Structure 1
């Protein structure tokens, strides 16, 4: 088994069809099919079963894919390093963050950092949470930022801010007149909430259960900025974190504290086995400063009647 065979196998696993894999690899479809057949003969077991017009990976194929994926992540890191050297980007910071963090905080933090360190080259990638963790763990990214990332032995989680959960609704919704919103207030509204199985969704479900109510969102989203955008289009109410709600893109919506209070932890995600470069440390410090200023401003606005949650108790 060689790396090229694994690359073709991986492309087929990711893309689902030999036609799509061939397009991705700039190969012919028969060449992909023949490569997979040859790989199966080398390893001695079947990788794909044909069901109708679909190729379905076997359990053995899924296991092989999981074991091979770290190899390709490492290869991606090597390729990126070669590209950095070729382009002269020796002072580089590779940042990865979830969608909410990218939208609400990253533009300001990046502008502040690049103003102070104009010689540094920065890349920013936006990914789902599990991919953010994997990117830092594998070395594809130097640092990551996310909310409620969960513990991983290979990563260091550096707390930045504790964020409250808020309810977002249209300005003419009766909820907008309330000092805060509870599960009882939401029984007649169409809820847009975080994806089931996430920590925040589990906490919301528990809050509804303690109020003797059924937690039954009409829409579930992975990225909470999408929830705010749906409300902005005139449909439903959303429950999300205060930073996303008050990012400046939803100024026409009312933002109310949600009770019982549910806190979310904004974290920097750092590699445990690797010392951060000086530029990466500077970027983390800049992000922490920006996040602190933004949260303080939000809570001051809330204390002065600006519609967001008040200061921490």
Structure 2
């Protein structure tokens, strides 16, 4: 198998165009196109449909993509494996999460991991939740922590637990003294919404659809951290849960139970090919402890 052809294929899937894939590999457009042709001829398959200047992945390409990532990941990891073998060093525990839970859950667990296992190096990568499934396909991880579900077949998550979704407002907001809030209670107030790719937005929109009601979006952001800071500065309300709320803002933001009750699930994935599976399980135990601690400290 031609590895350069495989790399061009993966880059086209990642970047969306042949031109960007060629640029990433410092190839001419024609050279990159020829490498894809070689791959298709080798396996007697059509990977892309040509529509003028666009390449549209076929079903075969979508199914082949995770396997191509796995192959390249293993090839790319060979120098690290050999270097660690020569040095006698333990490889770092590779942790992946999305930004929503990095400060509140993952970083505290990493701190405790460093205390319990001072000789174990840790490597944390943070991606938007919508990109986690693709990163998991790369197999460049030992443990992935995320809200659930993830659109991913073949891997079963281990559950950390679930929490109630709440309305987050600043301590000075007119609604801050309320014991609970309904959809009707939120009418007329500025709503800082997460974008439609986030699990929180999907949960909220589902509950609104069930009630046949709506809330007008005033601002829309792609990360919870941005929403929390807008709320803290008095820009309105957002939806949050006690696990994901940034610890440094806990004293400035109030989480008010939202009715109807909606829950947010959390879990983690262990790599089936991890060389540090036992270490990843040790880290998972610390995650469970941190999750339990934050859940019990919640006022919801």
TM-score if structure 1 supplies the norm length?
Answer: 0.78
* SS of 1:32 mapped into structure 2: helix
User: For 1:91 and 1:59, how far apart are their aligned partners in 2?
Assistant: 36
Q: Are residue 113 (structure 1) and residue 103 (structure 2) matched?
A: no
Equivalent residue runs for 1:103-182 within 5 Å = 103-129=103-129, 131-133=131-133, 135-136=135-136, 139-150=139-150, 154-182=154-182
* Per-residue deviation, residues 80-119 of structure 1 (Å, max 9, x unmatched): 3541441444343211112112122111110110121111
| Counterpart in the other structure of 1:56 | 54
User: For 2:154 and 2:280, how far apart are their aligned partners in 1?
Assistant: 18
**Shift, 1:64, TM fit:** 2.1
User: For 2:47 and 2:108, how far apart are their aligned partners in 1?
Assistant: 51
User: For 1:32 and 1:197, how far apart are their aligned partners in 2?
Assistant: 32
TM-score if structure 2 supplies the norm length?
Answer: 0.81
**Shift, 1:121, TM fit:** 1.7
CA RMSD of aligned residues (A): 3.4
CA contact (8 A) 1:74 1:140 kept: no
- The more displaced of 68-77 and 208-217 is 208-217
- The more displaced of 168-177 and 84-93 is 84-93
* SS of 1:172 mapped into structure 2: coil
User: For 1:142 and 1:242, how far apart are their aligned partners in 2?
Assistant: 26
- The more displaced of 269-278 and 153-162 is 269-278
CA contact (8 A) 1:151 1:157 kept: no
| Counterpart in the other structure of 1:261 | 261
- The more displaced of 163-172 and 244-253 is 244-253
Q: Which runs of 5+ in 2 are unaligned?
A: none
| Counterpart in the other structure of 1:79 | 76
Equivalent residue runs for 1:1-313 within 5 Å = 2-29=2-29, 31-36=31-36, 47=48, 49=50, 51=52, 55-60=53-58, 63-80=60-77, 82-87=79-84, 88=87, 89-129=89-129, 131-133=131-133, 135-136=135-136, 139-150=139-150, 154-196=154-196, 200-209=200-209, 211-249=211-249, 251-271=251-271, 277-297=277-297, 299=298, 302=299, 309=300
Q: Which runs of 5+ in 1 are unaligned?
A: 303-308
CA contact (8 A) 1:209 1:215 kept: no
User: For 1:267 and 1:244, how far apart are their aligned partners in 2?
Assistant: 13
Given the superposition, is the C-alpha separation of residues 137 and 271 from structure 1 closer, same or farther in structure 2, using an over 3 Å criterion?
A: farther
* SS of 2:296 mapped into structure 1: helix
* SS of 2:292 mapped into structure 1: helix
User: For 1:22 and 1:138, how far apart are their aligned partners in 2?
Assistant: 20
**Shift, 1:190, TM fit:** 2.7
* SS of 2:189 mapped into structure 1: coil
